[in-house]
Amino acid sequence: MSGQNTVTPSAEGIAATVRAAKSRGLPPVHLWNPEYCGELDIRIARDGTWFYLGTPIGRPELVKLFSSILKKEDGSYYLVTPVEKVGIVVDDAPFVAVDFEVSGQGRDQVLRFETQVGDFADAGPDHPVRVVRDAETGEPSPYVLIRAELEALIDRKSFYRLVELGEHHNGWFGIWSKGMFFEVIPSAELDGI
């Protein structure tokens, strides 16, 4: 097979490549377009746990390193370095928003989310919040965009705190951040609860 990489990708090899190329801040994965090298047995569970070969990755610094080279293209997730791109499995969203802080009040408040790997995003035009409801149960799954098509599932305790900050606006119950209103549920549906 000419033109294809015959070296089997490994988590250790990818980590070494990223460490060698790493500078301050996030790597510019949006600029990297190496050849696809195959799948790597890495899975991110819905609760944000990263697995390698079916075993949880117990080193937080390694998870953080891998999360810094995560890229989403055409609905699929990849770990990308300047020289290789490997597919991984993501059960829901690649990140979990485990906490948030509020500054300001009302329409001027800013909600700053933190993920399980230490990324931060201020909800607003560049980092919208969306809520998907299960068609059968109606259970909400709230998300915030962290970076470049990569979302965080907002954990349950944080979502309950968000609901406490909610307001009614134009027929919807939702939350404000950076002057934007993010819809959670139609106000009419709350009347029956």
Q: Smallest Cα–Cα separation from 73: which of 12, 40, 45, 32? A: 32
| Among candidate residues 169, 138, 156, the one with its CA nearest the CA of residue 99 | 156
What DSSP state is assigned to residue 35? Answer: P
Residues 6+ apart with CB under 8 A from 82: 17, 21, 32, 34
The C-alpha atoms of residue 142 and residue 157 are separated, in whole angstroms, by 12
Q: Nearest CA to 97 among 111, 110, 113, 112?
A: 113
131-154 residue pLDDT tens: 999 999 988 999 999 999 999 999
pLDDT exceeds 70 at position 67:
yes
pLDDT of the residue at 47? 97
Res. 4: pLDDT tops 50? no
